[in-house]
Amino acid sequence: TKYIFVTGGVVSGIGKGISAASIGRLLKNRGFSVFMQKFDPYLNIDPGTMSPYQHGEVFVTADGAETDLDLGHYERFIDEELTKSASITTGKIYSRVIQKERRGDYDGVTVQVIPHVTDEIKSAVYRAAHETEADVIITEIGGTVGDIEGLPFIEAIRQIHSENPPEDVLYVHTVLIPAIPGSDELKTKPTQHSYKQLMSQGIKADILITRSDGEIDDSIKRKLSLFCDVSEEDVIESRHVDLIYEVPNVFREQKLDEIIMNHLHLEPKEQNSDEW
């Protein structure tokens, strides 16, 4: 199994979910089986009790789990039925840990965020891999790098890297390149900061996906490549589209499918299809 983790930098709402789902679509078009899951760092067990005004509609999976609306994007993009294993919240993780603690499963040790909470997060990833036997598991980490709530998730996905061969784990970081009003100059500094923040937590982004107020030209790519230690071709622009279902095509034009396959040493399974 290969693991792709999608994190977000700079600000939320920049299309991390759409990017993750589009990567899933591209890999499916290359003949790989894909399962997607979302980690949400909030303490609610699920979004079922949250106001739809605050959180948007709840997406209900076929096996009855009330989940984040991103799961709806995933299903529509990758055309796979997802399950309750696809939606993991801090609330779910902690309630499992506390249940185990009450049962005495931890054998008297002090129960801590590391390793007990992080182990529970890792087992949510490995369980999905085991249950679905998918070629690729794509996991989106909700929130933005640097959030206190997200730390255990970031630490868990860091550990997954060290527990697996390097070619089995890929980190995709989605970022915003803002423009200064007036001069319309695009600024990479917020991305440099968020890349470094991720590095300080032990994760080196392999691929950057940018949203921006203008077109990312070669000089911006060069700058990102230099400061963020990725090659220029690993900087992928998620340019603004009127219909989100065009995003997989936007990525495909930039050869994101091939780039990911190269990183993960994935051999193409069948003729590429652009149909979906």
The two structure tokens encoding residue 213: 């107020």
Please pick, from the candidates 3, 5, 7, 17, the single residue that binds ligand ADP as defined by CB under 6 A: 17
Pair 191, 175: CB distance under 8 Å: yes
Report the half-sphere exposure of 112 (CA within 13 A, side-chain side).
4
Please pick, from the candidates 2, 9, 10, 16, the single residue that binds ligand ADP as defined by CB under 6 A: 16
15 forms part of the interface with ligand ADP (CB under 6 A)? yes
244 forms part of the interface with ligand ADP (CB under 6 A)? yes
Nearest partner of 58 among 44, 248, 140, judged by Cα: 44
235 forms part of the interface with ligand ADP (CB under 6 A)? no
State how far the alpha carbon of 172 is from the alpha carbons of 47, 53, 110, 168, 198, in Å. Answer: 25, 30, 34, 13, 11
Least Å from the CB of residue 14 to ligand ADP: 5
Kindly state the number of chain residues that form the binding site for ligand ADP, as judged by CB under 6 A: 13
Of residues 86 and 97, the one with the C-beta less far from ligand ADP: 86
Least Å from the CB of residue 16 to ligand ADP: 3
Non-local (6+) Cβ contacts of 222 within 8 A are: 232
Pair 71, 82: CB distance under 8 Å: yes
Please pick, from the candidates 10, 18, 129, 216, the single residue that binds ligand ADP as defined by CB under 6 A: 18
177 forms part of the interface with ligand ADP (CB under 6 A)? no
* Interface ranges with ligand ADP (CB under 6 A): 8, 12-18, 238, 240-241, 244, 247
